[in-house]
Amino acid sequence: MRTRAAVATAAGKPLEIMEVNLDGPRAGEVLIEVKATGICHTDEFTLSGADPEGLFPAILGHEGAGVVMEVGEGVTSLKPGDHVIPLYTPECRECEYCLNPKTNLCQSIRTTQGQGLMPDGTSRFSTLDGDPILHYMGCSTFSNHTVLPEIALAKVRPDAPFDKICYIGCGVTTGIGAVINTAKVEIGSRAIVFGLGGIGLNVIQGLRLAGADQIVGVDLNPDKKPMAERFGMTDFVNPSEVEGDLVPYLVNLTKGGADYTFDATGNVKVMRQALESAHKGWGESVIIGVAPAGAEISTRPFQLVTGRVWRGTAFGGARGRTDVPRIVDWYMDGKIEIDPMITHTMGLDDINKGFDLMHAGESIRSVVVY
Ligand code: NAD
Ligand code: AHE
Ligand code: ZN
């Protein structure tokens, strides 16, 4: 079939909207119509050329929601008409990783996914001239239609609005999951969140859900303050307004350091500040942000010797086929909020405006509605 997609032709160039060919689903695969997709900072990271795994030409996008159109041979858990959220972290429930309760990082298709290919080593997308176009994070939601493995789709309730629940495909689950699944934050904790964008705000929402007493938000952009307060931030710190070093300031503000800190900036200097503002003896710092090729974290080993813990999280530690339908229920039951964070919506033709808004710091989440 033919479909319309925003194609990343080369690093650093705007996406090009064009008709592309899409082959039907092979065994174990599913064709879906994407109804809506969020634009995550990770899409911009890969488009910028900073992603060591970035390949071009490719169809980016990994924060979608849509409807099953056709299933390939052997698919048993989905049928045409089902509402689904694509998963860049699949859940095969069979691999060594899925069988280990310590991780959500299903590895059954990770190698081909990183190469921009379906599990059989081929792409379903091509130009109208027949040249292959690569998949991205196993999702490619910047296309009106896409093909995914069955294990990379979460079936969700049909009454949930696509233009909101697409955000559960990455940002919402990553932020809330980092608090609940990865850090396992206890009631009464003090926490610091670095970066109050589409992920950081969901960390704040997760901290409120977990019953944290103090939620400090740190961002260079003061425009992020009102939304963060709305989601539960108790103190705002703009590093550019702090006299002297940021770390001692935050340690003092949290009465000795935070029980939990989270990096949602992708900046390795901020990651160090996050680790060092965690409480001596027990503070845990969770890296969510994705750093550019070649960037490395550092600290004095003494920071860890004296009890601080550094960890990281992908997709908030969530097992997608199991956890994502539950998070959709939380949204539909009013336990979590999504709508205010979706600050802009646009059609596919205007997708580059979504990237411009992100660069300008004017949006939290832009959502493309097909
Ligand atoms: P975003 O652009 O919406 O938000 C980033 C925020 O960080 C902005 O508000 C910006 O002002 C702030 N910021 C930038 N530099 C800062 C600094 N030095 N100090 C304080 N604040 C600073 O991005 P997002 O969509 O929220 O994504 C955040 C990060 O999380 C990105 O690196 C993204 O790639 C990553 N991410 C990781 C996962 C995962 O599974 N680990 C999932 C989604 C996104
Ligand atoms: N390809 C990059 C790393 C990108 C990365 O860390 N991706 C996160 C999800 S970000 C979603 O917005 C992730 O899930 N990582 C685990 C994985 O297996 O990719 C690089 O540095 O090579
Ligand atoms: Zn993302």
pLDDT digits (tens, 9 = 90+) for 159-174: 999 999 999 999 999 9
**Residues with CB in 5 Å of ion ligand 3:** 40, 42, 170
Please give all residues whose beta carbon lies within 6 A of any atom in ligand 1, as ranges: 40-42, 45, 170, 174, 194-200, 218-221, 224, 239, 264-267, 270, 288-290, 313-315, 358, 361
Query: Per-residue pLDDT averaged across 248-267, rounded?
Result: 98
Query: Per-residue pLDDT averaged across 97-113, rounded?
Result: 98
pLDDT value of position 221: 97
Which domains, ranges and CATH numbers included, belong to the chain?
2-170+317-369 (3.90.180.10), 183-312 (3.40.50.720)
Atom of ligand 1 nearest to the CA of 314: 40
- Model pLDDT for residues 280-331, shown as the tens digit of each residue: 999 999 999 999 999 999 999 999 999 999 999 999 999 999 999 999 999 9
d(CA 154, CA 84): 5
- The pLDDT-based confidence of 366 (bands split at 50, 70, 90) is very high
pLDDT value of position 146: 98
**Mean pLDDT taken over the chain:** 98
Query: Per-residue pLDDT averaged across 189-196, rounded?
Result: 98
d(CA 32, CA 55): 23
pLDDT value of position 273: 98
In this structure, how many other beta carbons lie within 10 angstroms of the beta carbon of residue 23?
Answer: 15
Query: Per-residue pLDDT averaged across 333-356, rounded?
Result: 98
Kind and range of the H or E element at 354?
helix 351-359
In this structure, how many other beta carbons lie within 10 angstroms of the beta carbon of residue 302?
Answer: 8
pLDDT value of position 25: 98
Q: How far is CA 267 from CA 118, 295, 364, in A?
A: 31, 9, 18
Active site residues: 40-42, 62-63, 92, 95, 98, 106, 110, 170, 365
What is the reported pTM? 0.98
pLDDT value of position 232: 97
Q: What percent of the chain has pLDDT over 70?
A: 100
Ligand 2 centroid to residue 9 C-alpha, Å: 20
Ligand 2 centroid to residue 131 C-alpha, Å: 27
pLDDT value of position 249: 98
Please state at what angle helix 268-276 crosses helix 246-253, rounded to 10 degrees: 40
Residue nearest to atom 39 of ligand 1 (CA): 314
pLDDT value of position 190: 98
- The pLDDT-based confidence of 60 (bands split at 50, 70, 90) is very high
Query: Per-residue pLDDT averaged across 129-134, rounded?
Result: 97
Q: Please calculate the CA angle 317-292-239 and round it to the nearest 5 degrees.
A: 85
Q: Are 34 and 146 in contact (CB under 8 A)?
A: yes
Q: Are 276 and 307 in contact (CB under 8 A)?
A: no
